[in-house]
Every structure is written in C-alpha cells, then in structure tokens.
A and B are shown apart, each in its own frame.
Chain A
Amino acid sequence: MTATTDAPARAPRTSGVRALYSGNARAVMARGLLATRSTNWIVVLTGVFEPIFYLLALGIGLGSYIEGVTDPLGNEIPYAAYIAPALLAVSAMNGAIYDSTWNVFFKMHFGKLYAGMLATKLGPLDVALGEIALALLRGAAYGVTFLLVMQVLGLNLSWTAFLALPALVVIAFGFASLGMGITSYLKTFQQMDWIPFVMLPMFLLSATFYPLTVYPVWIQWFVQALPLWHAVELVRGLTTGALSPVMLLHLLYFAVMIVLGLIFTTRRLRALFLD
C-alpha cells in the first residue's frame, strides 16, 4: 500500500492578499496626527471641557449640599472627590469614542481612506492599530487634562492618583478598540444614532454620580456588565487611594475589550477592502 498524504488543509490566511500586518501602524497614526493638526484641532480641544463642566456644576456646586459620601473603603470624602474620578474615566472614554466612531465611519464610507491605505503595503491590522492608537491618544490627552484639573482642585486624595494615568491609557485603548470594532460594522447614519443612545445612559448610570448600592440587585448586575462601570471603579480606587485586588479584574475586562475590538476591526477591514 502506498501512503498518501492529503494536501494540507487551507489554513486561515495570514499571508498573501489578506496579509494582516506589515508592522507600520505608526504611518497610519502619523497620518491621523497630521490630519488632525491641519484641519480640526479646535474641535478636538472642545471635547475636553464637557466633563470639566460636570465637575464644576455637580461636584462643586450641587456637591456642597451633599454629605456622608464615602470612598470604596468607607472613608468619608467630599462629593466632588467622589464623582471626579468617574468623570476622569468618562473624559478618557469620550476622547476615545469621538475618534473611533464618527471619524472612522466617515473615513470608511465617504473618504475611502482605508481602501487607499490597503492598496499599499499596509495590512488591516496596521490600519486598525494606527487608527485605534490615534483615538487612544485623544482619550489619554483628555484624561491627562482632567487629572491636572483635579490636582489643582485638590480632588486627588492619594499619591496613587498618578497611577490613574496608565489606567486611563488602558481605558481609552479599550473604548477606542471596541468603538472602532463596532463602527466598522455599521453602514448607515441611522445605525450610528444608536451610539449616543447607548453612551448617555451608560454615562449616567455607571456609579458615576452615586454608588451602585442604590439600585436593586438585578440592575446592579446589569451596570456591572458595562465597561464604564469598570473604568469608574478602577480610577476611583486610584485617585482616592482605596486600592483593592478587584482592580485587576477591571483591567482584565479592558484587556478583553481591546482584543475583541482589534479582532472585529481587522476582520471587517479585510472583508470590506481585501475580498
């Protein structure tokens, strides 16, 4: 008998027309920075102020009437110091979401930018990483600005607040990655309108302005599934100094978000532009 060897089964292509990565995501990011610098940097700047207004109005203004607020470990803290870390997480999220949703949507469907990029040596993962890095950068810049405001207002209660910086980068990365992943599947303006519909309740309900314990248990479960809740808890622990091992779980949540977003985005770019 002769031994026959089967032709090797067709493995998922990592080379060829649909090759994923050329190690040049920085060219995509550099393009984004140049485009931002030459066209809409003022618009970029305005996004910083929204959470600052919330902090002044609700934290300092309304907060002067609120007593008995505690940090995650039960120590009494001013209301402003309670919501500031939440708004810090929100500012990182907002920055990351602006670039990774609407901007990506336009580039994908109207600017035909990605089709042009993928006709070069670049692969879909270069484009995904470059664009996500750009969104991340914006989120991190918003976060850093807000963190400085908090420092000036004396709302950073612990030295661990500086650890909020790397945490913000992770949070912005997560939102940018998943934001672009989801956006890449959306085709119409009507579908894009669902994004604020999801973002606004998440912003209001994720233990941003009051603790989770005010909710019935089943709503608590729901809120705990949302990414912003994990971001808020992580940052609040760091700026108030109430550290706990649960924070590692929050980080894990964002790690999963980053990976999922990259996978979705890359697959979609491939399907759209490298059929």
Chain B
Amino acid sequence: MPDSVITATALTKKYKDFAAVDGISFEVAPGESFGLLGPNGAGKSTTMRMVGAVSTRTSGELSILGMDPNEHGPEIRSQLGVVPQADNLDTDLRVRDNLLVYGRYFGIPRAIVAKRADELLEFAQLADRAKAKVDDLSGGMKRRLTIARALINEPRILLLDEPTTGLDPQARHILWDRLFRLKEQGTTLVVTTHYMDEAEQLCDRLVVVDKGQIMAEGSPSALIREYSSKEVLEVRFGSERNAEAASKLEGLGRLEVLPDRILVYSDNGEGALVEVIKRGLQPITSLVRRSSLEDVFLRLTGRTLIE
C-alpha cells in the first residue's frame, strides 16, 4: 500500500476549554476520496482548517504529504486546493481574472496560469462566462468557479468543505459529476458533508464525526452493514397508536419508535411487512426502502436536534 498523503493521530484543537476536535485519528491514501461526515458543529471544518495548514493543532500529530504543517505551512498549502464552506471568490474581479490572480498568489508564472485558467474554465463549464462578474453567477456556477480556482495550482489534495450545501439538485449533480472526474484522474479528495447521498456518491471511505470525535469509520456500504440493516420498513399507525403497535412488533428486527412512525431494521423488508400484517396490525402507510447512510448517521449521532 502506498504511503498515505494525510495522517492524523489524536489530532486535537481546543478553543480555551472547548475541544472542537477531540483526538481524532485517520489516514487518507493517495487517490482516495475520503469523507468527514457529521452534524453541524461536529468539528469537520476545524479539522479541514488544520489539514489545510491554516490552523495550528493544540495537540496530536498531523502529517500532510509527509510534512508537518507546524514546520512547512506554505509548502503544504502550495500543494493543496481549498474549497471553503462559504464561497470567498474575489467579487471585484471577473470570472477568468479570479483564476489568474489566484494562480499568481502561488507564484505560478503568468503564461502557465493563463493556459490552466482556460482549461479549468472548460472543465467547470464556465468558458462562456469568462468575462462575467462573479456576482452575476448562479450559486452552482460560483461553486464550480471556486473548485476551478482550487485546482489552479494542480493540487495533490483537494479539500472540499460542504461542497454542495445550498445548491439545487441539478447544480449538485453537475458538481458531483465534475468531482467524480477529478477522482478518476487520481486527485485525492477530502470532503466534509452532512448530506448522506453526497457521501455515498463521492466517498470511498468515510468517518462519522460527532462532538469532535470519530464515531465510526469505513466504506459507505460497510458502515450500512455494520450499523444498519440491508432494508428498512417504515410503518405508520397514527401518532396515538404507534407505541401500542410497537409492542406487538418484537422480534422483527431492531425497532425505532418515532413520534410519527416506526422503523423496522430488517434484511428483508417485504418479509417484515408480511409478518406485521400477520400479527393483525393494519398500518396506515408502509414503505420498504434500502438502508442508507442516513440511518447510520442518525443511529450514531442521535435524532435530537444538534445546534
């Protein structure tokens, strides 16, 4: 196995007494697409800032491309592409100029930057908007421009902090397609997200983070196998009768009783439904679906609202 491009060991970041990141360890292999999945405030962005060599760790070890960010910040940053959570495009500059100027921050010669900028505008499907003002772009276009900008220095690792938050479905799918192409070209991706479908689409492997700690680690399918079941049966009996019905569902699989519905985790959802009806229960609605990372996520991080 080739040496990993990111190695974090007991990585910790404290702000006064509060530990935003509390001793997490992970490795990312070259060319891998790695996800940090977690609710808001779980410590994903703080981890990304440390990996991006713009934030010092409080303790633990961190190695990016074989270098310690405490010693080689600029060298590391020059080989990273960063797509921050909120777009920070330069709104005083036009679309193409954003790429040119950003490339110059890395000290890349003008001619090379110009060539790459044109290629990246093609890649980001923005070639016809080269002279547009940034403020006139749609949310999806801005995001693609931010990604194009992050690629101007031909980074070895691309860090994406919630890349599709706030985008409409079309824009998300276009973006996923572009990111998938990068992955095919061998770029290492590190993605944070709280969208399960995004994690399933993009990540070879991921960690679920909550309260600054890693709750689980594995590929999306392995996590589903381990923390959920193949299928989920959702049945509704009306909010008054849910609890009573649940008492008759013992033995069908792991049950989760929610105010509005009951979830039955089973490897055979249809079979479970047949059994429910055999026991004389008449659900108002029933749904058998494939288990998803969302089930894993909610099981690990809980259903209470996290703010």
Interface of A toward B, CB cutoff 8 Å:
13, 15-19, 22, 24, 27-28, 30-31, 34-35, 38-39, 111-113, 115-123, 273-275
Task: Pick the 5 closest A-B CB pairs, nearest first.
Answer: A35-B92, A112-B88, A17-B73, A120-B105, A27-B104
User: Of A35, A113, A123, A275, which contacts B74 at CB under 8 A?
Assistant: A123
With A24-B107, A35-B93, A39-B92 as contacts: A120 and B56 at CB distance below 8 Å: no
Q: Is the CB of A30 within 8 A of B101?
A: yes
A24 and B105 contact, CB distance less than 8 A:
yes
Contacts of B153 in A (CB 8 A): 120
B56-98 CB contact bits vs A (8 Å, 1 = yes)?
1000000000001111111001101010101011111110010
Inter-chain pairs besides A17-B55, A19-B73, A22-B74, 4 sampled, C-beta below 8 Å? A16-B71, A18-B56, A35-B92, A38-B97
Q: Are B74 and A31 in contact (CB under 8 A)?
A: no
Q: Which residue of A lies closest to B53 (CB)?
A: A17
Q: Which of B56, B84, B91, B104 contacts A119 (CB 8 A)?
A: B84
Q: Assess A121 versus B74: contact at CB under 8 Å? Given A34-B101, A35-B93.
A: yes
Instruction: Answer yes or no: B102 CB below 8 A from chain A CBs.
Output: yes
Give the number of A-B contacts (CB < 8 Å): 94
- Do B101 and A38 touch across chains, with their CB atoms under 8 A apart? no
Residues of B near A118 (CB, < 8 A) are: 54
CA distance A18 to B102 in the complex (A): 20
User: Are A122 and B105 interface neighbours, CB within 8 A?
Assistant: yes
Point out the residue from A17, A18, A31, A121 that lies within 8 Å of B78, measured CB to CB.
A121
Q: Which residues of A contact B104 (CB under 8 A)?
A: 24, 27, 30-31
Residues of the B chain whose Cβ atoms lie less than 8 Å from the Cβ of A28: 105
Q: Report the Cα distance A235→B79, complex, angstroms.
A: 48
Q: Which of B70, B90, B94, B101 contacts A16 (CB 8 A)?
A: B70
Using CB atoms, name the residue of chain A closest to B152: A120
Question: Contacts A22-B107, A274-B55; is A116 near B93 (CB within 8 Å)?
Answer: no
The reply to whether B105 and A15 contact each other, CB–CB distance below 8 Å, is no
- CB neighbours of A13 from chain B (8 A): 70
Question: How many Å lie between the Cα of A163 and that of B97 in the bound state?
Answer: 38
Chain A residues with Cβ below 8 Å from B227 are: none
Q: Residues of B with Cβ closer than 8 Å to A? A: 52-56, 68-74, 77-78, 80, 82, 84, 86, 88-94, 97, 101-102, 104-107, 153
- A27 B92 Cβ-Cβ under 8 A: no
Flag if B74 contacts A111 (CB, 8 Å).
no
| Inter-subunit contact A117/B105 (CB<8 Å) | yes
Q: A16-B73, A38-B92, A115-B84 are in contact. Are A121 and B105 (CB under 8 A)?
A: yes
Give chain A residues whose Cβ lies under 8 Å from the Cβ of B71: 15-16
Q: Is the CB of B88 within 8 A of A113?
A: yes
How far does the Cβ of A43 sit from chain B's closest Cβ, in whole Å?
A: 12
Instruction: Give the residues in chain B near A273, CB-CB below 8 Å.
Output: 54
A122 to B103, alpha carbons, bound, how many Å?
A: 11
B54 near A17 (CB under 8 angstroms)?
A: yes
Q: Indicate if the CB atoms of A274 and B54 lie closer than 8 Å.
A: yes
C-alpha gap A28/B82 in the complex (Å): 18
List the A side residues contacting B90 at CB < 8 Å.
31, 35, 111, 113, 116
Determine if A275 and B73 form an interchain contact, defined as CB atoms under 8 angstroms apart: no
Q: In the complex the two chains form, what is the Cα distance from A30 to B104 in whole Å?
A: 9
Residue among A15, A17, A123 facing the most chain B CB atoms (10 A cut-off): A17
Enumerate chain A residues within 8 angstroms of B105, measured Cβ to Cβ.
24, 27-28, 31, 117, 120-122
Among residues of B, the one whose C-beta sits closest to the C-beta of A13 is B70
**Chain A to chain B contacts (Cβ below 8 Å), 12 pairs:** A16-B72, A17-B55, A19-B73, A19-B74, A22-B74, A31-B93, A34-B97, A35-B92, A38-B93, A39-B92, A120-B77, A121-B105
Q: From residue B221, how far is it (CB to closest CB) to chain A in Å?
A: 33
Q: Are A31 and B88 in contact (CB under 8 A)?
A: no
